[in-house]
A and B are shown apart, each in its own frame.
Chain A
Amino acid sequence: MSTQTVTRSRDGWLALPGNIWRSVFRNPLPDSDLGRASTSFTNFFLHIHPVKVSRHSLKATYTFGLGLMSAFLFLILTVTGVLLMFYYVPSTTQAYDRMLDLRGTVAFGIFLRNMHRWSAHAMVAVVFLHMCRVFLTGAYKPPREFNWVLGVLLLLVTFFMSFTGYLLPWDQLAFWAITVGTSIAGYAPFVGKDVRFLLLGDSTVGQEALLRFYVLHVAVLPIVLTMLATIHFWRIRKDGGLARPPEEDALPGESSTPGPMEVVSAAPVVMATSAGAAAAAKPLLERKQYGIQGLVRGPITKVGNISDRSKFSWPSLFQAELLVFVITVAAILVVSLFFNAPLEEPVNAMHPPNPAKAPWYFLGLQEMVSYSAFWGGVGIPTIEVLILLLVPYLDRKQVGVGRWFAKERLLPNTLFITFAVLNVVLMVIGTFFRGANWEFVSPW
């Protein structure tokens, strides 16, 4: 306060540049709890975070930063993707030449393409690992059921983003991977052939398919993904932060029931996070002012300076996020420096490579397709996605939330690990153990 008065009394140029800085950033670097709170609360980029965050959510070994890593990879993909768009032409006669130009003439061209390619592969993998984390810590239990559903949709959009991007270099790898991939889609009963035709815009992979995949890849799917991800993030806040065991919200010296200062009881429409919490929540204190920002679901919202197991987001959470960001960017930079994205011969529709393989994340499907076209390519994947979508509605017991491999969740965890391992094994077989004519080969 006193500094502001001093500033105002200064006349003319002496106020510069401090007054510009203060007009942009509402708070000086915080040295008090109030300052820490308002720094995260009044900054556009920081205010999607809570002011305080549970210590449990900050543990690196709880989340491994996987969700955040997916978001940062998407950020890298957006930046590098937009830059690549300046030099790319979605035409069958020009696309491949433009790939060569990226190598030969465009400044940092090959490096940007490497970053884009490796981030795309990494994003598919990291989003999958994030799903494994959420399942194995039971973090999809009420009230977070729908956020799990959004997560499954995000996984599917990520697959589709990566798949549409695969065609764009217009080399042999791209052409045959998409030919094989869209043929798998064609196995769907009734609609399969129509879906394939709509996707390709023609009966075979050609100029129309290249244009369609380009539009999907650079406009439609990024918008869909951004919207879904935004809702995904927003719901994390509205569902009370990351899932954690109820005892994490207890006051010191109290047993496992959530803290008494919850605003849960103030809004009857929102239910408590755990079964016993609604009964345990005490009425709000009388003669106390409650801010509207306090009326969100879940035990994280505390009013007043209560000593609990949470920390201020500034700096703890932001430091952790910065660390994940730096690690992600550094990893992608290093990999892009040492490994070049593959570019094979230009498309030759007459000469399929043997074997012709779909992108690696679809090779589990292709492996199953080699046993049964319908069941491997359509039946089993559809059932898998449906079960994933229904997981939080089938498994409703409020036990073992927020802990890795909780004993109470032995059955669901075992089932999920079996599901994940099975899919990964099929993928590994399809990638490394299948040679010419899709015959079994040894990779070493």
Chain B
Amino acid sequence: MKNPAKSAPDGAPEDVNRRKLLSWLSGFGLFGSAVIAALANLIFIKPRVTYGAPNRFSIGKPEDFPPGARIALDTRRVCIVRDGDSLAAISTTCTHLGCIVAVSETGFACPCHGSHYDQDGNVTGGPAPRALSWYQLTLAPNGELVVDKDNEIEAGKYLKV
């Protein structure tokens, strides 16, 4: 090993370069490890299963919801709307600050900050920034309706039964 301090002037740049390269590589390795560790922590902290109320659940047979019904399932935070043979599941979580909206004459009304929505969940007044979400509603093989709150669909898309 050549002592860099004593090396000849023409040999010096090579030494410095090797040194620099090794420093860069170690620096990159250490920094990279730190980034990977940070990412691992982020992945760790994001739950893969949640222990609260499931986001995908069965709500009963279509016959339980007569035509014209607008039945709010408060514990599930969803309202089942039936119009003829068209069914839909509309969120009852206010898009403003997360309160539960109540079914009203004209659609939905939030008790917290006075947001109003029409029958389809579009904002008609108050501070709510967005329309209420529509969730995917499917008919399971056993004839029961299944709401999937992880799957938001576009408003106005009904399930025909």
Measuring CB to CB, which residues of chain A are less than 8 angstroms from any residue of chain B?
Answer: 176, 179-180, 182-184, 187, 194, 197-198, 201-204, 206-208, 349-350, 352, 354-356, 366, 369-371, 373-374, 436-439
Contact = CB atoms under 8 A, between A and B. Distances in A.
A347 to B, nearest CB: 13
A416 B91 CA distance: 43
A354 B97 CA distance: 12
A438 B115 CA distance: 10
21 contacts: A176-B99, A179-B97, A179-B99, A180-B99, A183-B97, A184-B97, A187-B129, A197-B46, A202-B50, A203-B50, A203-B52, A206-B51, A207-B51, A208-B47, A350-B75, A356-B113, A374-B129, A437-B112, A437-B114, A437-B126, A438-B112
Contacts of B53: 204, 206
Given A180-B99, A355-B112, 11 more contacts: A183-B97, A197-B46, A203-B50, A204-B77, A207-B51, A208-B50, A208-B52, A350-B75, A437-B111, A437-B126, A438-B114
B146 to A, nearest CB: 17
Contacts of B46: 194, 197-198
B15 interface: no
A202 B47 contact: yes
A202 B96 CA distance: 18
A198 B97 CA distance: 18
Contacts of A436: 111
Contacts of B29: none
A369 B50 contact: no
Q: Which 4 A-B pairs have the closest CB atoms?
A: A437-B114, A373-B129, A438-B113, A206-B52
A210 to B, nearest CB: 11
A356 B51 contact: no
A203 B93 CA distance: 11
B2 to A, nearest CB: 32
Contact of B100 (A350, A370, A373): A350
B52 A354 contact: no
B14 to A, nearest CB: 32
A353 B126 CA distance: 17
A179 B98 contact: yes
Contacts of B42: 198
Contact of A352 (B45, B47, B112): B112
Nearest to A373: B129
Contacts of A179: 97-99
B127 interface: yes
Contacts of A202: 47, 50-52
A203 B99 contact: no
Nearest to B47: A201
B85 interface: no
A438 B127 contact: yes
Q: Is the interface of A mostly helix, strand, loop or mixed?
A: helix
A373 B75 contact: no
A356 B112 contact: yes
Contacts of A437: 111-114, 126
A335 to B, nearest CB: 30
B112 A208 contact: no
A207 B49 CA distance: 13
Given A207-B52, A437-B114, A180 B97 contact: yes
B74 interface: yes
Nearest to B150: A203
Contacts of A182: 98
A208 B51 contact: yes
Contacts of A438: 112-114, 127
B55 interface: yes
Nearest to A370: B127
A369 B97 contact: yes
Contacts of A180: 97-99, 112
Nearest to A212: B45
Given A352-B111, A355-B112, A437-B113, A183 B98 contact: yes
A207 to B, nearest CB: 6
Nearest to A197: B46
A228 to B, nearest CB: 19
A197 B114 CA distance: 26
A209 to B, nearest CB: 9
Given A180-B97, A352-B99, A203 B55 contact: yes
A352 to B, nearest CB: 4
Task: Tell which of A206, A354, A437 has the most Cβ of chain B within 10 Å.
Answer: A437
Contacts of B112: 180, 352, 354-356, 437-438
Contacts of B113: 355-356, 370, 437-438
Interface string B88-116: 00000000111110000000000111100
Given A197-B46, A355-B112, A373 B96 contact: yes
B50 A356 contact: no
A356 B74 contact: no
A201 to B, nearest CB: 5
B104 to A, nearest CB: 13
Nearest to A209: B52
Contacts of A208: 47, 50-52
B42 to A, nearest CB: 8
Interface string B17-30: 00000000000000
Nearest to B99: A352
B94 to A, nearest CB: 9
